[in-house]
Amino acid sequence: MTTEQLHDVRLHVNGSVHEVQVPARRLLSDALRHDCGLTGTHVGCEHGVCGACTVLVDGTPMRSCLMLAVSAVDAEITTVEGLTEDDGTAQGRLSPVQQAFSDCHGLQCGFCTPGFLTTITAGLRETPDPTEDEAREMIAGNLCRCTGYQNIVKSVLRASEIVAERERGEA
């Protein structure tokens, strides 16, 4: 029996450092879930199709099932657990995208939701005031088996409003 060699890897996730020992082939998605205990990142297809495993790597949405943990050592990773904003309370405040999903009922079973939240968070930085078509384009790479997407599109548009409201100090 061969024993797989383990590598010491330091992952920067949601502002914290996680020192983990992983085989060279450990997927980032598995490292986040199993080694860091951050199970908010969901794994669906495991081959880059569904988008459920999307996390932000230096602010860019990446499919964590297509990335090796060892290749993420120098990056700042944001998972769904890291989206909540610090408001001085223990639980923090929902991010604009999270709040919009709540306001617009943008989820049903919730399996796809972490991937949508991270994808839209990055998408709104690029396109802060999307049209409905742009909102659909923003989420075109993420699959949802429950919602029919209508309320997710509404959530994108609502999130854009919330970002603007918070910037104006209105929310």
Evaluate whether 9 touches 22 at the Cβ level (below 8 Å): yes
**Region at 15 (left for phi over 0; alpha for psi -120 to 50; beta for the rest):** left
138 binds ligand FES (CB under 6 A): no
28 binds ligand FES (CB under 6 A): no
Joined tokens for residue 102? 């709540």
**Smallest gap from residue 48 Cβ to ligand FES (A):** 5
Q: Which residues contact 63 (CB under 8 A, 6 or more apart)?
A: 48, 51, 53, 54
User: CA gyration radius for the chain?
Assistant: 17
Closest CA to 81 of 117, 30, 119, 126: 117
Residue with Cβ nearer ligand FES (41 or 95): 41
Letters for 33-52 (x = contact with ligand FES by CB under 6 A, - = none) are ----------xxxx-xxxxx
Helices (H) and strands (E) in the chain, counts: 5, 5
Residue with Cβ nearer ligand FES (45 or 171): 45
59 binds ligand FES (CB under 6 A): no
Among 15, 59, 110, 148, binds ligand FES (CB under 6 A): 110
Give the type of residue at 17: V
Among 79, 99, 147, 155, binds ligand FES (CB under 6 A): 147
145 binds ligand FES (CB under 6 A): yes
Give the position of tokens 């495991």: 46
146 binds ligand FES (CB under 6 A): yes
Residue with Cβ nearer ligand FES (51 or 82): 51
* Alpha-helical runs (H) found in 79-149: 96-104, 113-126, 132-138
57 binds ligand FES (CB under 6 A): no
**Smallest gap from residue 169 Cβ to ligand FES (A):** 32
Q: Which residues of the chain form contacts with ligand FES (CB under 6 A)?
A: 43-46, 48-53, 63, 65, 107-112, 144-147
